[in-house]
Amino acid sequence: MASMVICVAGVPFEVGYPEGAVSVTRALSPYETSEPALFSVGPDASYETWARTVAPGRPDEEYLHSGLLHRVALGLLPYGCLLLHAAVVAVDGRAYAFAAPSGTGKSTHVGLWMRHFGGRARVVNGDKPILRRRDGAWLACAAPWAGKENWQTRMDVPLAGLCFLVRGGGNAIRPLGEREETDRLFAQLDPPGDPALTDAWLGLVGELVREVPSWQLTCTISDEAARLSYGAMSGRDDWDHGE
């Protein structure tokens, strides 16, 4: 086994993985640190087996990544962290998360923000960011698992809002209440699967729902949709001055 100590969401930990897993080494290397590890994780064979049943036919190392990521999420939970399936873009030092089932258009929507804002914007993570509650506030944090585009910037940014995308024939956005946000979040979070950790996980999800505003954006693939989501989530009207 090979191993590397990395730092994600401000938490250093050791990741063990099979020798020769080149894609794992490549993914972890930008996060390598000399800090002492607070915990250690390794491959999760049971999770890899489960992943093969729900997403068959992928390369073996993709299942290895799935198992490692699940173990990382469990290890980070005591530090106030949640793994979210979303794309996160930061503009002017504030992060905005877009969540939806795969193939709905998260990356496309974030790409519209990037094209418009240029140097004012950074993609924190394109697929699997870590959200961390620290000192009473939520941060969106980069992580080595960033989707097929590998969009990521090693940074931790205050989280300004969550937006759940729904494809539609027009563009409309509305705020979500706590019950509806909770239901939608459960579909985009990685639950622990361990009864001993479930209460802590649910408590953290509850704090996220209470403390971070959320919206549903029914949208087309258009600048109009991006303008609408930015205005609602940021509370600002400077979209026309983005470039």
What pTM does this model have? 0.93
* CA atoms of 181 and 62, how far apart (whole Å): 30
Long-range CB contacts (within 8 A, 24+) of 227-234: 228/171, 228/172, 228/173, 229/96, 229/98, 229/109, 229/163, 229/173, 230/91, 230/96, 230/113, 232/173, 232/175, 233/96, 233/160, 233/161, 233/163, 234/91, 234/94, 234/96, 234/160, 234/161
Assign 98 a pLDDT band (cuts: 50, 70, 90): very high
Q: In one letter, which amino acid is 129? A: P
Question: CB 86: neighbour CB atoms within 10 A?
Answer: 27
pLDDT digits (tens, 9 = 90+) for 123-150: 999 999 999 999 999 999 999 999 888 9
Domains of the chain by residue range:
2-79, 83-241
Question: What's the pLDDT score for residue 177?
Answer: 94
Assign 152 a pLDDT band (cuts: 50, 70, 90): very high
Q: Which fold has domain 83-241?
A: Phosphoenolpyruvate Carboxykinase; domain 3 (3.90.228)
* CA atoms of 87 and 231, how far apart (whole Å): 18
Residue 242 has pLDDT above 70, yes or no: no
Question: What's the pLDDT score for residue 21?
Answer: 92
* CA atoms of 76 and 9, how far apart (whole Å): 9
Question: What's the pLDDT score for residue 28?
Answer: 97
CA torsion 8→9→14→17, rounded to 10°? Answer: -40
Assign 47 a pLDDT band (cuts: 50, 70, 90): confident
The C-alpha angle with vertex 149 and arms to 25 and 208, in degrees rounded to 5, equals 90
Q: How far apart are the first and last CA of the chain?
A: 48
Question: What's the pLDDT score for residue 241?
Answer: 60
Which two tokens mark 179? 């019950």
Residue 231 is inside which H or E element, if any?
helix 223-234
Asked if 143 contacts 123 with a C-beta cutoff of 8 angstroms, the reply is no
